Amino acid sequence: MASKEGLLEVVEPKNASHLISDTYKSTENDWYGIYKGILGIMYNKEELDRLGIDAPEDYDDLLDEKYKGLVWLANYNTSGTALLFMNTMIQKKGSEEAGIEFLKELDKNIAQYTKSGSGPSKNIGTAECTVGIGMLHDGIYQIVDNGYDNIGLVIPSTGTSFEIGATAIFKGAKHEAAAKLWIEYALSPECVEQADEFGSYQFLVIDNAEQPSQAAEFGLDPENVMDYDFEDAKENTTKYIGEVMEALGAAADDRFQTK
């Protein structure tokens, strides 16, 4: 969206040649990805056992009445993760109308919309949240760094989408030469291989970097992803937000307060 608004500087770093696919850079050459974060489902194993409920295997499972009041999702008005989920469902369902209808049905089972995309993951280990939608590396962080081994992780069986953690130079940057050096560094193993030292367990998208071992330990397949249409998301996200909020109606307004 920043690219669409013309806020970013075109730059062609040498290290971009190590990106594993052109998917991980802007078509305008004004941003470059350094990692892929997989969208998925997290759940508290102990709480589902206590309730006698099976863990969801796909997004459609979350519409089942047995999950009523158990699901957390981030706020469409404040979270990029929520926008990724919104666009994912619109694309997976094949049309804007079908995707928004899915989100409307899902709302019936939502207990809370959190301000941040990491909000659900932070509350699963403590069982305040039973089932959460979010970035799976946030769940890995809760397991590895905070010791919540009661968290289960699911890549939806029919595939999911992913975010690209990217870096860019804003137009008008005061220190453009330094900014270009930063882009080169950000696309290097020296930079991205530090991630797991600081609790970041995303899948790296640079071919000469070593993947965090923690990300591979949970049997997650980072290739089980849909052919996400980034151009549609870039062009239509703002419109989709308005239509989702209109579809959910006044009954949901109090759960989407941003102040």
Radius of gyration for the chain, computed over Cα atoms and rounded to the nearest angstrom = 19
Note the maximum CA span of the chain. Answer: 59
Contact between 72 and 132 under an 8 Å Cβ cutoff? The reply is yes
142: Cα within 13 Å, side-chain hemisphere: 26
Q: What are phi and psi of 40, to 5 degrees?
A: -165, -160
- Written as one string, the DSSP assignment of 210-244 is PPPHHHHTT---TT-B----HHHHHHHHHHHHHHH
Contact between 43 and 130 under an 8 Å Cβ cutoff? The reply is yes
Superfamily of domain 1-250: Periplasmic binding protein-like II (3.40.190.10)
What is the residue-averaged pLDDT of the chain?
93
What does the pLDDT read at residue 251?
59
CA 150, CA 47: separation in Å to the nearest integer? 9
- Written as one string, the DSSP assignment of 180-208 is HHHHHHHTSHHHHTTGGGGT--PEE-BTT
The residues that bridge with 35 in the sheet, in sequence order, are 165, 204
C-alpha distances in Å from residue 227, one per residue of 83, 192, 231? 17, 25, 12
Contact between 107 and 248 under an 8 Å Cβ cutoff? The reply is yes
CA 3, CA 37: separation in Å to the nearest integer? 20
Whether pTM > 0.85 for this model: the answer is yes
What does the pLDDT read at residue 223?
82
What does the pLDDT read at residue 22?
94
What does the pLDDT read at residue 258?
57
Query: Which tens digit of pLDDT belongs to each residue from 15-42?
Result: 999 999 999 999 999 999 999 999 999 9
CA 245, CA 75: separation in Å to the nearest integer? 11
What does the pLDDT read at residue 259?
53
Contact between 103 and 244 under an 8 Å Cβ cutoff? The reply is yes
Q: What are the extents of the domains in the chain?
A: 1-250
Mean pLDDT by 10 residues, the chain (259 residues): 91 97 94 95 98 97 98 94 96 96 96 94 96 96 96 94 95 96 98 92 94 82 86 92 89 65
CA 159, CA 40: separation in Å to the nearest integer? 9
Beta-carbon contacts of residue 22 (< 8 Å; ≥ 6 apart): none
Q: What are phi and psi of 179, to 5 degrees?
A: -65, -40
What does the pLDDT read at residue 4?
85
